[in-house]
Homo-oligomer: A and B are copies of this chain.
Amino acid sequence: MTGHELLNPGAWRTASLTDDSAVIQALLDVEVAWVRAQRSLGLVDDAVVRVVADAGSAAAYEVGAIARRGESGGNPVLPLLTDMRSAVAEHSSNAAEALHRGLTSQDVLDSALMLVASRTLGALRGSLLAAADALAGLADEHRGTVMVGRTLGQAALPITFGLKAAGWLGAVTDAVVEVGATAASLPVQCGGAVGSLAAIDAMVPGEALRAADLLADELGLSSPGRPWHTDRGPVTRCGDAMVRTADVMGKIASDVLLLSRPELGELAEPVAEGRGASSTLPQKRNPVLSVLIRSVAIEAPHLGALLHAAAALAVDERSDGAWHAEWSTLVRLLARVSSAGSQLEELLAGLQVNATEMRHHVDDAGPAILSERLVAAVRNLPEAADIPDDLVGLLKQGASTGKVRDLLRSRVPTENLSDGELDRLLDPTTYLGVSDVLIDRALERHRALGSGDRR
């Protein structure tokens, strides 16, 4: 593991996909794939491919030295290529010549970043699917678990925890779909020095764009049909998908953090040995997963904005600094969001729901939590007159359900409002709107994600 990961707890979860070794591997994969593409074009033979492929394992390269030498040319492709070419040249001068032929360093670096993205998005999508599965279970199980619906921090109307979980599920489902679509559209970069594919065209006249397509195929990336050296949509679209996923996770984590405060006690993180320990308070169990997910959600918008700033500052046929600002930012964003995804999966798989405490707070909220319904119901009565004002007066005082019942009973004849109807009016479990339908819809969309489509 490399990186400032000491200060990013949880980074280990996806470090193997995003650390410096993973980037080196992706860079090597691009160089190898390009030689394979040349073989498909008849430019080199299998032996050349073998020699190059044999030099294509990150383990054979010294990351630190390449990083250090990268400054000189402004990017790590040059020193890596030098080392790779040396390794290859020992076995075949043809292979050394074919290596990188016709490409520019941006082709390799951009394609490698897309490759890193592709691999990380795969893992992230798996985590999100697992989180969605957990949420589907919670939404269904807690259809009848009444809790306080809160707006601006204050009690508003009753909802169910099932509805809340369905809301989370809807957002996570969107994220699964978007992450999947983003992964499928990550494009190869192949334009040569200035995006005209001039050198490639000289190598294989009339087949340069086919060569680009072959490179995409070898790497499992999409073929955009044109270079995007200074049209950075592929980077910002990937970044935006990551930030949106982080937003979704942040919302859930914030809700868990609030609802697991001891004074609320409606939710709790899964218990794991040592998890949430404090350096000095032995009994304390901190909601660490949510805290760390939330920290990623706080960070992500800024990283996404940086990718846009870089895109907006693109110039010429290759940018003079804006491009360079993207690299580690995109990888950092991928690393942070994917590890948070893994944490979210774990959080939701073991989330503890305290239905009793939820109901307790509904009861504490009293009839005020039904004020919307009560006022509307009373207004429609023939004898309404000043009942609504008196009712609101009582509610503002925080009157009990009994007091409110007494007021209504004393002012509305039973022929207009039977005792049963009155009881129903005052029962929070009967003022849940279309919660059940919304849960059904969320479950339906979740099911449609398809099992075949999963990791």
Inter-chain contact B371/A282, CB cutoff 8 Å: yes
Residues of the B chain whose Cβ atoms lie less than 8 Å from the Cβ of A385: none
Residues of the B chain whose Cβ atoms lie less than 8 Å from the Cβ of A284: 154, 156, 368, 371
Residues of the B chain whose Cβ atoms lie less than 8 Å from the Cβ of A305: 301-302, 304-305, 308
In the complex, chain A residues 253-287 whose Cβ is within 8 Å of any chain B Cβ: 253-255, 257-258, 260-264, 272, 274-287
Inter-chain contact A167/B373, CB cutoff 8 Å: no
Inter-chain contact B312/A301, CB cutoff 8 Å: yes
Q: In this assembly, does A171 line the interface, its C-beta being within 8 Å of a C-beta of chain B? A: yes
Closest chain-B Cβ to A424's Cβ sits at a distance in Å of: 11
Tell me whether A152 and B244 are in contact in the complex, defined as CB-CB below 8 angstroms, given that A24-B6, A302-B302 are known contacts: no
Q: In this assembly, does A401 line the interface, its C-beta being within 8 Å of a C-beta of chain B? A: no
Interface window among A48-56, A197-205, A410-418:
A197-205
Q: In this assembly, does A188 line the interface, its C-beta being within 8 Å of a C-beta of chain B? A: no
Residues of the B chain whose Cβ atoms lie less than 8 Å from the Cβ of A341: none
Inter-chain contact B104/A163, CB cutoff 8 Å: no
Looking at chain A's contact residues, the main secondary structure is helix
How far apart sit A275 and B79, CA to CA, in the bound complex (Å)?
12
How far apart sit A335 and B328, CA to CA, in the bound complex (Å)?
13
Q: In this assembly, does A311 line the interface, its C-beta being within 8 Å of a C-beta of chain B? A: yes
Q: In this assembly, does A329 line the interface, its C-beta being within 8 Å of a C-beta of chain B? A: yes
Q: In this assembly, does A105 line the interface, its C-beta being within 8 Å of a C-beta of chain B? A: yes
In the complex, chain A residues 395-454 whose Cβ is within 8 Å of any chain B Cβ: 395-396, 431-435, 437-438, 441-442
Inter-chain contact A71/B9, CB cutoff 8 Å: yes
Inter-chain contact B279/A104, CB cutoff 8 Å: yes
Inter-chain contact A195/B163, CB cutoff 8 Å: yes
Closest chain-B Cβ to A94's Cβ sits at a distance in Å of: 12
How far apart sit A74 and B11, CA to CA, in the bound complex (Å)?
11
Interface window among A34-42, A131-139, A229-237, A347-355:
A229-237
Tell me whether A313 and B201 are in contact in the complex, defined as CB-CB below 8 angstroms, given that A6-B24, A194-B159 are known contacts: no
Residues of the B chain whose Cβ atoms lie less than 8 Å from the Cβ of A20: 3-7
Inter-chain contact B282/A153, CB cutoff 8 Å: no
Inter-chain contact A300/B312, CB cutoff 8 Å: yes
Tell me whether A195 and B159 are in contact in the complex, defined as CB-CB below 8 angstroms, given that A20-B6, A208-B433, A299-B325 are known contacts: yes
How far apart sit A286 and B331, CA to CA, in the bound complex (Å)?
25
Inter-chain contact B315/A171, CB cutoff 8 Å: no
Residues of the B chain whose Cβ atoms lie less than 8 Å from the Cβ of A285: 154
Q: In this assembly, does A291 line the interface, its C-beta being within 8 Å of a C-beta of chain B? A: yes
Inter-chain contact B288/A327, CB cutoff 8 Å: no
Q: In this assembly, does A361 line the interface, its C-beta being within 8 Å of a C-beta of chain B? A: yes
29 intermolecular pairs with C-beta atoms under 8 Å apart:
A1-B64, A2-B3, A3-B3, A6-B66, A7-B20, A12-B68, A74-B288, A97-B379, A154-B285, A156-B281, A163-B195, A167-B226, A167-B230, A196-B432, A197-B434, A198-B431, A198-B433, A199-B373, A200-B433, A202-B377, A208-B433, A255-B315, A263-B263, A280-B372, A284-B371, A290-B320, A294-B321, A295-B323, A301-B308
Closest 6 CB pairs of A and B: A294-B321, A149-B194, A196-B433, A198-B433, A305-B305, A151-B318
